[in-house]
DNA sequence: CAATTGGTTAGCCATAGAGCTAACTATAGG
DNA sequence: CCTATAGTTAGCTCTATGGCTAACCAATTG
């Protein structure tokens, strides 16, 4: 219950760990078995498997077992989902910058029009 | 010592929490005081301040205090840095897809050239 | 079939994370 | 000067996370 966190939570949490980021980077270059993935890391296998599991739960990675080897691959949808979040924020941010710039422009024009000889009206916000 | 984690670790960890993501989203729309930021959240102030602190340490947010009010603003560099990570991964991923596509093309051509009348050689990897 | 290889399960431990209350500091306003 | 406002510090809980070992399948391979 109440444990159904947002998918973004899990994606970002997954990517917050350098080991897991390295795994994702590795998988960007193509699928690999658990053993191959684990090899570069100085870590006991069960610990490593936990990372794989976190990545799977987050939706970043999927895997399937054939014989006794489990092959992992990247599931790019989740990555793209997270990337989208950034782009949305950037869009909002840039819109704000535009508005701000427009505001500054307006101020400049007003300043050019009225000579600053009398008490200027107090500015509202921002 | 050894506690000098990668900046990406901290950025992703910061963004893994819905409260903090909401703060970042709010700040995309313009700077705000701690009180204003905290208002929508049903959380004690000290708890909330911890989130602000995490965001500051990650470099996503910066703040300054004037009088008794602390004003927070987004520091977009960190956001962009994280976004870059995604774009790099996507670039690698897409390069791989291209290579894979090229490989498939090559296979097709070879298949078209040699007639499959005799035992086809076993494929190596990928 | 026996031994190896490749993963998996179970369970332990230490630390970090997210929340709380209570008490404190420091400005702003009356 | 007194009080209310806006943060801040200190210190406590509880859970989640990241690591380990030991023991355990289940496919290969000799």
CATH number at residue B29: 1.10.10.10
Task: Check CB contact of A36 with chain B, cutoff 8 Å.
Answer: no
For B18, the domain range is: 7-75
Q: CA-CA distance, A69 to B93, in Å (whole number)?
A: 23
Domain count for chain B, please give it: 1
B22: in domain: yes
A52: in domain: yes
A68: in domain: yes
Q: CA-CA distance, B122 to A57, in Å (whole number)?
A: 35
Q: Which nucleotides of D are covered by protein (CB under 7 A)?
A: 5-11, 16-23, 26-28
B29: in domain: yes
Which CA distances in Å does B56 have to B59, B74, B76, B83? 5, 9, 12, 18
A101: in domain: no
Query: DSSP letter string over B46-59?
Result: HHHHHHHHHHHHHT
Task: Check CB contact of B79 with chain A, cutoff 8 Å.
Answer: yes
**Of A5 and B26, more confident:** B26
Task: Check CB contact of A94 with chain B, cutoff 8 Å.
Answer: no
- The separation, in Å, between residue B11 CA and nucleotide C19 C1' comes to 21
User: Which of A16, A24, A92 comes nearest B9 by C-beta?
Assistant: A16
pLDDT bracket for residue A114 (50, 70, 90) = low
Interval A5-33: pLDDT, tens? 589 999 999 999 999 999 999 999 999 99
B86:A89 CB<8 A: no
Instruction: Judge if the beta carbon of B57 is closer than 7 A to nucleic acid strand D.
Output: no
What is the percent of chain A with per-residue pLDDT over 90, rounded to a whole number?
Answer: 67
- The answer to whether residues B78 and B59 touch, using CB atoms and an 8 Å cutoff, is yes
B32-33 vs A61-66, strand pairing mode: unpaired
Cβ-based contacts of B25 with chain A (< 8 Å): 89, 92
């Amino acid at each position: 219950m109440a444990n159904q966190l947002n998918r973004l939570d899990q994606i970002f949490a997954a990517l917050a760990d350098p080991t897991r980021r390295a795994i994702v980077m590795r998988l960007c270059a193509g699928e690999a078995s658990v053993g191959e993935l684990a090899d570069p890391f100085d870590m006991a296998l069960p610990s490593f498997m936990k990372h794989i599991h976190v990545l799977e739960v987050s939706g970043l990675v999927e895997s399937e077992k054939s014989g006794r080897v489990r092959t992992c691959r990247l599931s790019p949808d989740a990555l793209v989902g997270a990337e989208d979040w950034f782009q949305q924020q950037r869009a909002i941010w840039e819109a704000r910058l535009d508005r701000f710039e427009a505001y500054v422009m307006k101020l400049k024009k007003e300043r050019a029009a009225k000579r600053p000889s009398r008490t200027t009206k107090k500015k509202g916000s921002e």
